[in-house]
Amino acid sequence: MLDLSFVSDQNRSLQAPHQRDFEVLAERLSRRGVNAEAVVAQIGRFEVAVPSWALGTGGTRFGRFPGPGEPRDVFEKMEDIGVIQQLTRATPRVSLHIPWDEPDDPQALKDHAATLGLGFDAVNSNTFQDQPGQALSYKFGSLCHTDPAVRNQAIEHNLHVIQVGRQLGSTSITIWLADGSNYPGQMHLRKSFERTLDGLRRIYAALPPDWRLFTEHKPFEPAFYATVVQDWGTSFLLASQLGKQAACLVDLGHHLPNTNVELVVARLISAGKLGGFHFNDNAYGDDDLTAGSIRPYRLFLIFNELVDAEEDRVLPSPPAYMIDQSHNLKDPIEALLQTVDALQRAYAQALIVDRRALAGFQQANDVLMAEQTLQQAFRTDVTPLVAEARRRAGGALDPIRAFRASGYRAQKAEQRASGAYVPPQSL
Ligand code: PSV
Ligand code: MN
């Protein structure tokens, strides 16, 4: 963890120019009828969970280039997330992947997390890889498998993940299945889906009453011909069949090229089945790049749908926000700081949309002005709003600058010099 006074010392040197920028922006926004104070308060309430698997340098099947000072186990990953939380004040929870980051002693991990000011978000089950000592293989699927014994093993694993999650204080499970086929004819398309639904029903039946179950879709990879839960329609079908506690999770990289993701989000909101997000960005497929790095306008348009739904009070429960990225080239902590900032910016831009004007232009079919209304918000540099929200919460005005100044990574490079942790490949 960073010294208690470190963040405020860092902020002091940036405070005067920041204050001026904030005042200028607040004045400009007030001319548009936007109250900067209210926006800052809302940004201050924004929270997103950090995935345990994002703290080690990621990789592809072509290689991995780890940097110095990577966390060697889940306890060290917690320390790194604790630093992200200190700097951003927007990441108080961790999303664990099990068994990748399965704790031997969940209570000990929970206690450790609490000392760092952290709790736990959704737990993620992994039935897409075989683990050492595992009785049956998932080579040909898990919940969709033709062999009931394999299906039972996958169900048992999910029940175990729920148990671990309960011990940690999680209240949701995200299920992403790699199940599918690579060649036409390999798998019975209809029956493999029905077996999957049956397995999910058995997992759902074991869900504690205050828990939610998120179904995450993905069109391809590792199954290249037909993924069982390939699109939001299938995910919606599953979540609807399961019941009230089930909803759909939208991973931004899990869509075929040119899919209008904000439209998917709008549809799921209408259906009352938007469970949450895995934030990242992509140019081609499931690239797992930093959120907002490739298509910031899309990210803004997604938040625009969310803010609109929030204001119309049509969300049955707030969507769960989680990051799902693989940091192959960037320092993972820095990339995550950048991600949190990108999400807060998109949220801030969505908050300053003049919704009354937009509704009027939509009603009057004034295409150009409706579009301009969104673009005016998107083109506003909201840096001072986001920085101010962080500062008021006790975080850093400029988290990446503060992180670099802290020398944290160099210090960890010394402390963690041995026993390098080998994270899973990017998925
Ligand atoms: C699969 O590509 C995925 O998006 C799922 O959410 C996994 O849990 C995660 O990535 C990590 O591989
Ligand atoms: Mn995901």
Per-residue model confidence as pLDDT tens digits over 179-197:
999 999 999 999 999 999 9
Q: Residues 178-210, buried b or exposed e (16+ Cβ, 10 A)?
A: bbbbeeeeebeeeebbebbbebbebbbeebeee
Per-residue model confidence as pLDDT tens digits over 343-390:
999 999 999 999 999 999 999 999 999 999 999 999 999 999 999 999
- Average pLDDT for 6-35: 97
What is the CATH topology of the domain spanning 46-353? Answer: TIM Barrel (3.20.20)
Q: Enumerate the domain spans of the chain.
A: 46-353
Banded pLDDT at 175 (limits 50, 70, 90):
very high
Q: Ligand 1 test: best mutation among 278, 282, 323, most atoms within 8 Å of CB?
A: 278
Q: Closest Cα to atom 5, ligand 1: which residue?
A: 176
Question: Closest-lying ligand to the alpha carbon of 223?
Answer: 1
Question: Could you tell me if residue 419 is left (phi over 0), alpha (psi between -120 and 50 degrees) or otherwise beta?
Answer: left
Percent of the chain with pLDDT over 70: 98
Residue 212 phi/psi, 5-degree rounding, is -125, 150
Question: Closest-lying ligand to the alpha carbon of 126?
Answer: 1
Assess whether the C-beta atom of 216 lies below 6 angstroms from ligand 1: yes
Q: Is the pLDDT of residue 423 over 70?
A: no
| Average pLDDT for the chain | 96
Residue 158 Cα to ligand 2 midpoint, Å, equals: 17
Alpha carbons within 13 A on the beta-carbon side of 339 = 32
d(CA 127, CA 129): 6
Residue 216 Cα to ligand 2 midpoint, Å, equals: 7
| Two tokens, residue 311 | 């204001």
pLDDT on residue 4: 82
Per-residue model confidence as pLDDT tens digits over 293-333:
999 999 999 999 999 999 999 999 999 999 999 999 999 99
With tokens 């929030």, the residue in question is 310
Q: Is the pLDDT of residue 427 over 90?
A: no
Per-residue model confidence as pLDDT tens digits over 25-66:
999 999 999 999 999 999 999 999 999 999 999 999 999 999
